[in-house]
Amino acid sequence: MYIDNKFIKKQFEKSMKDYDKNATVQDLMASKLVIELSKISTAFDNILELGSGTGLLTKRIAKNIKFNNYYANDLVEKSKLYVQKLVPSANFICGNALKIKSPRKVDLIVSNAMFQWFENLEKAIDLIKLNMTKDSILAFSTFGPDNFKELKELTGLTLKYRSEDDLRTILTNAGFEILYMESFYEELVFKTPLELLAHMKHTGVNSLSEKTWTVKKVKDFCDNFSKKFQKTQLTYSPIILIARKIK
Ligand SMILES: C[S@@+](CC[C@H](N)C(=O)[O-])C[C@H]1O[C@@H](n2cnc3c(N)ncnc32)[C@H](O)[C@@H]1O
C-alpha cells in the first residue's frame, strides 16, 4: 500500500481529540514498552521520541525514566501541545521522522505504534540510526502481519507489517543487538461494523481502507463485513522490540 504522509497527517490530526479514549491497545503497548525498557535502564541523557501523537508513550516515559533532554517528533504540529503538557522542557521537531535531524545525538530513541507506517523499514532504520550514539537504545512497538487481518481479508488493503523474524533480520543487518522482543494479540469486539469503523477513525487508521468514505462506501463496508464475519472483531498483533546499536 502506498503511504501518503500528507494523508496520514490529516487523519491523525483529526483523530487526536478522541484518540486516547479509543487507543486502548496502543496504550497497552506503551505500558509494556516502558516496563521492559525500565528493566534495561531507567536513566538516559538525551531521548528522541518519534511519532509522539497525543503523548501516550511520553506520559509513561516522563513517569518512569530520568533524562536530561527530551526531543519529540511527529508529522502533526499539534502533538507539541500534548507533549509539552507532559514534559514542559521538551523540544518538539515537527516533520517526517526520516527527514528530521535531532539537535544532538541521543542515547535512546523511543516510538510507540508508529514504525508500521514506514514503507521501507530497512531504509528507515538506517536513517534513524544517524541520530544515535554508539551503544544507544532503540525501543519501539509496531504491529505484526496478522494486524487488522479482518480488514485485509475484506478489502485486500494492509500495511507492510513485518514479522518478528523480519524485524530481527532487519535490525541485526543494521548493526543492532536485540535485547527484547515480544509479540501478542489483542482482539477488540464491536457491536456493529459501523462501531468498528468509528474506532478506526478515532485512532487515525481509517486511511487504511478508504481515502474518502461516502455514505455508500460505509454501507457497503458494513454489509460486506456482516456477510463475511459472524463476529465484529478487529485483531491487533503488537510487537515490542528493544535493541542496542552495536555498530
Ligand atoms: C498510532 S499514532 C501513535 C501515537 C503515539 N506514539 C501513541 O503512543 O499513541 C502514530 C503517530 O505517528 C505519527 N506519524 C506517522 N508517520 C510518521 C512519520 N513518518 N514521521 C513522524 N510522525 C509520523 C502520526 O502523525 C501519529 O501521531
- What 3-state class would DSSP assign to 200? helix
- 3-state SS, one letter per residue, for 1-14: CCCCHHHHHHHHHH
Determine how many CB atoms are found less than 10 A away from the CB of residue 153.
12
- pTM of the complete model: 0.97
Instruction: Supply φ then ψ for residue 218, to 5 degrees.
Output: -65, -45
pLDDT digits (tens, 9 = 90+) for 19-36: 999 999 999 999 999 999
- What 3-state class would DSSP assign to 222? helix
User: 239 CB less than 6 Å from ligand 1?
Assistant: no
Cell of 185: 494479540
Regions in the chain scoring below 70 on pLDDT: 1, 207-211
Instruction: Supply φ then ψ for residue 47, to 5 degrees.
Output: -115, 140
Cell 500495511: give the residue.
Answer: 159
pLDDT digits (tens, 9 = 90+) for 47-92: 999 999 999 999 999 999 999 999 999 999 999 999 999 999 999 9
Probe residue for ligand 1, chosen from 117, 125, 161, 201 as the CB with the greatest number of ligand atoms within 8 Å: 117
pLDDT value, residue 210:
63
Q: Does residue 237 contact residue 183 with C-beta atoms inside 8 Å?
A: yes
Q: Which residues contact 215 (CB under 8 A, 6 or more apart)?
A: none
pLDDT value, residue 221:
93
Probe residue for ligand 1, chosen from 75, 101, 120 as the CB with the greatest number of ligand atoms within 8 Å: 75
Domains of the chain: 5-146+159-185+237-245 (3.40.50.150)
